[in-house]
Amino acid sequence: MPDRALRYVRQVTLPGFGRDGQRRLDGARVLVIGAGGLGSAVLPSLAAAGVGVLGIVDDDVVEVTNLHRQLLHGPADVGRPKVESARSTLTALGAARVETHDARFTAETADAFLADYDLVVDGSDNYETRYLTNDVAARAGIPLVWGAVSQYAGHVGVVLPGDPDYRDLFPAPPDPAGVLTCEIGGVLPTVVAVIGATMATETIKVLTGIGTPLSGRITTYDALTARFREIPFTHDPERDRTSPAAPPTSEEDTMTDTSDSRELDVRELQDLVEDGRPVQLIDVREPWEAEIAAIDGSRLIPLGTLSEAAAGIDPSVPVVAYCHHGMRSQQAVEILRAAGVPARSLVGGIDAWSRIADPSVARY
């Protein structure tokens, strides 16, 4: 159709894109997990760019608190299934074809969902789904684009078949109790837009073959400093790659597993401190959090500035990174190890420290 050709002329004229790139988009089938914040940024961009088939998996309904960041939906959609609201919006944007799945993406349904698609985008922003999607995509041999947001920051990664994947970066999920959700910590809507747009860009790059996909690297964005950073990573040589690793089966397993030396629990840290052994405590929270509570003798280096500050940390003295519940400190460990600083994450963060090792520390 002439009007369809005219619609995409501005991207077809891009160097390296051309009609071949547009034909690849037209013939692509992409599954997006989640029609929430990240999905609201990814899906319209892919629909407008001309992706042939967009599949959406989500079993949630629209809530009023979603509307500030989930721009697929409007006030009239409150109470409506997100997949239905998303379909209406995408159809109005001229999406070629939208396939909706009002269901959860689970271990029982995942393989069947991915079987009909060329690429999967994880916009769920929860760890259980992220690890599951990583493992199923690896098993299916299809590319994965994922993103995550929290408060004022976020990051994006791509996994191409055979390349380092999410478990090489983060071997096991954190304790669910330590995950800072949007409900608890809040989220800046524009951060979701930036991360979602980056995810959509990476999807288009993989589908069309333009540029260099973000594989073996993650890009992080800190809205408070307006800085982007890149963190490279490789295959974990100690990982058993005969089959995708399974998430911990219980909270107890998550809290006590330190076999990969990336974590230590509060009792271990307490022993280090009481024995007077040298240790560098790195607080990777934000300054306002440190004002509420901090572990004595720790050094405040917010996560968003850690890459730059890593060069000033002595790698010969054991390093323990901590945050509120232990999620950000796991990211900090990977950043520090990539910079040549062996570090471990305090399981449960300062919250666990205040409950077990030092009850005098304020909890928040």
Active site residues: 182, 323
Q: DSSP label at 319?
A: E
- Residue 47's nearest CA partner among 77, 90, 10 is 90
Q: Kindly calculate the radius of gyration of the chain based on its CA atoms and give it in whole angstroms.
A: 21
Q: Report CA torsion sign: 10, 93, 91, 132.
A: positive
Rounded to 10°, the helix 82-92/37-49 angle is 30
Q: Residue 353: CA atoms inside 13 Å, Cβ hemisphere, count?
A: 28
Give the amino acid at 151: Q
Q: d(Cα 105, Cα 128) in Å, to the nearest integer? A: 10
- Residue 93's nearest CA partner among 36, 25, 40, 18 is 40
Cα distances (angstroms) measured from residue 71 to each of 66, 174, 272: 9, 29, 49
Cβ neighbors of 358 (< 8 A, separation 6 or more) are 295
Q: Residue 296: CA atoms inside 13 Å, Cβ hemisphere, count?
A: 8
Question: Roughly how many angstroms between the first and final C-alpha of the chain, as a whole number?
Answer: 59
Q: In the chain, how many H helices and how many E strands? A: 16, 13
Alpha helix stretches (DSSP H) within 94-188: 110-114, 127-140, 166-169, 182-185
Q: d(Cα 266, Cα 288) in Å, to the nearest integer? A: 23
- Would you say 318 and 341 are in contact if contact means Cβ atoms under 8 Å apart? no
